[in-house]
Amino acid sequence: MVRNKNRPAYPRLCLAGSTTAALVLAVALAACSHQPQGTATQPRPAVPVLVGKVERTTFPVQLHAIGTVQAYSTVSVKAQVGGEVIGVHFHEGQEVAKGQLLFTIDPRPFQAALAQARANLAKTEAQAQLADADAKRWETMYKVHAASPQQYDQANSAAAALRATIAADKAAVQSAELNLQYTKIYSPIDGRAGNLNLNAGNIVKANGDTPMVVINQIKPVYVQFALPERDLDEIRRHLETDRSLAVVANPPNEPDKPSIGTLSFIDNTVDPTTGTIQFKGTFANQDERLWPGEFVDVTLTLERRPNTVVLPAQAVQSGQNGTYVFVVNPDLTVRVQPVKTGATLEGRTVIEQGLAGGETVVTDGQMLLVPGARVRIKQALETAAAS
Q: Average pLDDT of each block of 10 consecutive residues along the chain (387 residues)?
A: 44 40 40 47 82 92 92 96 96 94 97 96 93 87 85 89 93 96 96 93 92 95 95 90 87 82 94 95 93 93 90 93 94 94 86 92 92 84 46
Architecture of domain 79-105+184-210: Beta Barrel (2.40)
What's the distance, CA 243 to chain centroid? 19
State the sign of the Cα–Cα–Cα–Cα dihedral 289, 294, 297, 299.
positive
How does 323-341 read in b/e, with b if 16+ C-beta sit within 10 Å? bbbbbbeeeeebeebebeb
The hierarchical CATH code for the domain 48-56+307-386 is 2.40.420.20
> Using CA atoms, how far apart are residues 349 and 310, in angstroms rounded to an integer?
5
Cα–Cα distance measured from residue 28 to residue 358, given in angstroms and rounded to the nearest whole number? 57
Q: Is 377 within 8 Å of 328 (Cβ atoms)?
A: yes
Other residues' Cβ atoms within 10 Å of the Cβ of residue 205? 12
- The rounded distance, in Å, linking the Cα atoms of 266 and 232 is 9
Return the pLDDT at 41: 54
**68 and 294 in contact (C-beta within 8 Å)?**
yes
**One CATH from 3.40.50.280, 3.40.50.720, 1.10.287.470, 3.30.1360.40 for 107-182:** 1.10.287.470
Distances (CA, A) of 307 to 61, 71, 317, 338, 350: 13, 40, 23, 21, 11
Reported pTM: 0.66
Question: CA 310 from chain center: how many Å?
Answer: 27
62-71+222-305 is classed CATH 1.10.287.180 = no
Q: What is the pLDDT of residue 141?
A: 87
Cβ atoms of residues 69 and 223 within 8 Å:
yes
**Which residue ranges make up each domain of the chain?**
48-56+307-386, 62-71+222-305, 79-105+184-210, 107-182
How far apart (Å, rounded) are the C-alpha atoms in residues 247 and 249?
7
State how far the Cα of 128 lies from the Cα of 121, in Å rounded to an integer: 10
| Pairing verdict, β 246-250 and 83-88 | unpaired
Helix axes 108-143, 149-181, angle to 10 degrees: 160
